[in-house]
Amino acid sequence: MSKISIIDYGMGNLHSVVKALGRVGADAVIIDKAEDIIKADKIVLPGVGAFRDAIATLQEKDMVEPIKEVVASGKPFIGICLGFQMLFDVGYEDGCYDGLGIIGGTVEKFEFGDNPKNLKVPHMGWNSLKICGEQPLFKGIEDESFVYFVHSYYVKPSDDAVAATKTTHGIEFVSSIHKDNVYGVQFHPEKSQTVGMKILENFVGI
């Protein structure tokens, strides 16, 4: 059974993630100390809330460098929702704040101007994934499968080659990424029923 460590920094829906990982055969544990991040075999960085607060909390808990170190070591790492956004260089929620800088790019707000289609922000509910080529995280998942989103900000990678899936909500945006041992998803796999469980199962098997 794969052991997966979920980073608890006070801003994640941890128990639903633990439960979902358990359903796909993982031994999921919650960790809240910097030294435990370094020791972990596979890591999940979840998150719900504001980019600024989340980064500040990781800094206060001395978790930023351990996260970068464990990513550099080559261990499988996945960010979910806000945890995904923090992988990038800069976030523009209520100002301009440095992210973890693991993936090049920015995190920006959906802006629809006059909004003739009455598109809502946050982007909330079910939407489909356009899978970009062969992707380990999406093995066995059909293109245009639906997953569950809740977010007002989206990522803009510096290099489009990291895009694993794209989704359209007014604009086409990158809804998940893959670069080397790093994965990230904007949606909530733990809330995405069968498709979400398959995505988590694929991560467990990596």
Catalytic annotation, residues: 81, 188, 190
8 A C-beta contact, residue 99 and residue 107: yes
8 A C-beta contact, residue 5 and residue 76: no
Q: Minimal CA–CA distance to 203: which of 187, 186, 181?
A: 181
Helix (H) / strand (E) element for 54: namely helix 51-60
Detail the DSSP E strand segments found in 59-152: 77-80, 88-91, 97-98, 103-109, 123-128, 130-131, 146-151
d(CA 109, CA 91): 9
Q: Minimal CA–CA distance to 142: which of 195, 188, 183?
A: 195
DSSP string, 154-179: EEEESSGGGEEEEEEESEEEEEEEEE
